[in-house]
Amino acid sequence: MIADLTGKNALITGAANGLGKGIAQILAQQGACIIIADIDGNAAKLTADEFISLGYRAISLQMDVTNIDSVDTAVASAIDKVGHIDKLVNNAGVIGAPGWHERLEVTEEDWDFTFSVNVKGIVHVTDRIQGDMMKETKGSIVNIASVAGKMGNPDRPNYNASKAAAISYTKSSALKLAKFNINVNCICPGNIWTPMWDKISMRQFNFGSEIFSEFSDVENNRELFHKITELSTPLMRDQSAEDIGYAAAFLLSDSARNITGQAINVDGGRVMG
């Protein structure tokens, strides 16, 4: 065990798949009851059932983080089932509007959609949950940003800008909630093979671009992902969803009670600072 979350209820958004599912798994291993919230309610239920079959405590919720009514309904249902929410991981995120991976250009719709999920989604869920945490004068929040938020990217400027906004919002939120004994941090992951990266690399593989032209000899998008990661990462390997889960578990635990407003990279050394 790396952090004791026994008896804590942890809500993770976008947890039906990918990184969110890995984070949920690690939090469950530390003793938390995990609340799997996802826009895809059926997938969230399947994921929660999988964890329950492994002996963990889990419930599922259908929640669209971009929609305040959906967030309100889902959180009320979670509180009804488990009593209160002690820990929040704002993980749900997108690269662009539906179909973004089938085009090279970034559209206005991509900008709006990315900000509505990656920035306003965090704000909506935090706004709904922080009130109860403030009343109890305890709680911890982790936002999943990205090292993209600390770098430029001519290929996906909307995504990088949204993650920079998530880092900035984390700091504002940490300042607002500090006097209520609530810490707020963000994790900046590097490269993890999830459905998201499957699409990113498929887009590059299918369309090519100046940035990745040196990888023209690769045979498929997964190989492209590994080449890009190896070349750009000092530790020369990708990260796993569990790696992000370990960092989240620590930041949500009492051991991290004096850490707030930080943006911690879990990226194999790609970005330092």
Ligand X SMILES: NC(=O)c1ccc[n+]([C@@H]2O[C@H](COP(=O)([O-])OP(=O)(O)OC[C@H]3O[C@@H](n4cnc5c(N)ncnc54)[C@H](O)[C@@H]3O)[C@@H](O)[C@H]2O)c1
Applying CB under 6 A, the residues found at the interface with ligand X are 13-14, 16-20, 38-40, 63-66, 91-94, 117, 121, 144, 146, 189, 191-192, 194-197
CB of 232 to ligand X, least distance (A): 12
Q: Considering beta carbons, is residue 14 or 139 the nearer one to ligand X?
A: 14
159 is catalytic: yes
CB of 43 to ligand X, least distance (A): 6
Q: With contact defined as beta carbons under 8 Å apart, do 38 and 14 qualify?
A: yes
DSSP string for residues in 203-246: HHHHH--STTGGGTT-SSHHHHHHHHHHHH-TT-S-B-HHHHHH
Residue with the shortest CB distance to ligand X? 93
Cα–Cα nearest to 97, from 72, 73, 118, 126: 118
User: For residue 202, what is the enclosing H or E element?
Assistant: helix 195-207
Six-digit token string for 201:
């690399």
Q: Considering beta carbons, is residue 41 or 261 the nearer one to ligand X?
A: 41
CB of 37 to ligand X, least distance (A): 7
Dihedrals phi, psi of 106, to nearest 5 degrees? -100, 120
Q: Considering beta carbons, is residue 4 or 50 the nearer one to ligand X?
A: 50
Q: Considering beta carbons, is residue 3 or 19 the nearer one to ligand X?
A: 19
Six-digit token string for 262:
């930080």
Sheet holding 182-189, edge to edge: 58-62, 33-38, 9-13, 87-90, 139-144, 182-189, 263-266
Q: Which residues are catalytic?
A: 159
